[in-house]
Amino acid sequence: MQYDTTNSDHGMKFDPFKALITPRPIGWISTLSATGQPNLAPFSFFNALSDKPPFLVASLSNGNDTLTNLSASGECTACVVHRELMNKMNMSSAAVDSSVNEFELAELGTVASMHVKAPRVAGCPASFECKLWQSIPLPVNDATGRGFTTVILEVVSIYIDDQYIKDGRIDTAAIQPVSRLGYMDYSVTDESNMFSLNRPAVADDGKTATLDETPWDGTYK
């Protein structure tokens, strides 16, 4: 099948777009309102943009509390969600009134950040302290009136729980990060579904390449 996205004439029970872009990392974003009210919400339109310097990107629906707070304060934290906290992450997604503290709603503790005012989630395996670098309003959907704003976040500090560092590397299998799929589906990354691939080795003349199918030796080549 193929369909035109301008009229969403896909003929399916639900829009398939998000079910095709998977898995998507979850940015569990914490902000503070102008009055100091904590806000916490998960977003799956979220990913890394670059590593040197480190930047993250997230797209937030217009009018939500996270975007309002981030636009006003210019800072946030983005926590990594792991299996242990996935139900609390889900609870924090509830579309409650802006007066509600989602940390309390989801029965989560907070830990003060080092360089931004918004706290991180206690017990999260890692978090990124961020400053808002740029906001980009996206076109509004004519049919629904729904729109998003893409925010580009400069990472100014990174917290990593030491128990997830092994031999100088992040132990992703131990973290068991949770990702968003389509519909109401999620996935967890662990040893059962992880594998490594060596990069192709390019010949000296730059015209051919070969693949080494042995396990990665821990050296970037």
Cα 181 to Cα 179: distance, rounded to the nearest angstrom: 7
Q: Tens of pLDDT along the chain (221 residues)? A: 888 887 778 888 898 899 999 999 999 999 999 999 999 999 999 999 999 999 999 999 999 999 999 999 999 999 999 999 999 999 999 999 999 999 999 999 999 999 999 999 999 999 999 999 999 999 998 777 789 999 999 999 999 999 999 999 999 999 999 999 999 999 999 999 999 999 999 999 999 999 999 988 888 87
Cβ-based neighbour number of residue 210 at 10 Å:
10
HSE-CB of 104 using CA atoms within 13 angstroms: 7
Which whole-number Å values give the CA distances from 160 to 15, 87, 121, 132, in the listed order?
36, 21, 12, 21
Are 120 and 80 contacting, i.e. CB atoms less than 8 angstroms apart?
A: no
* Cα-Cα end-to-end distance for the chain: 41
17-210 has which CATH code? 2.30.110.10
Q: What is the pTM of this model?
A: 0.93
Per-domain residue ranges of the chain:
17-210
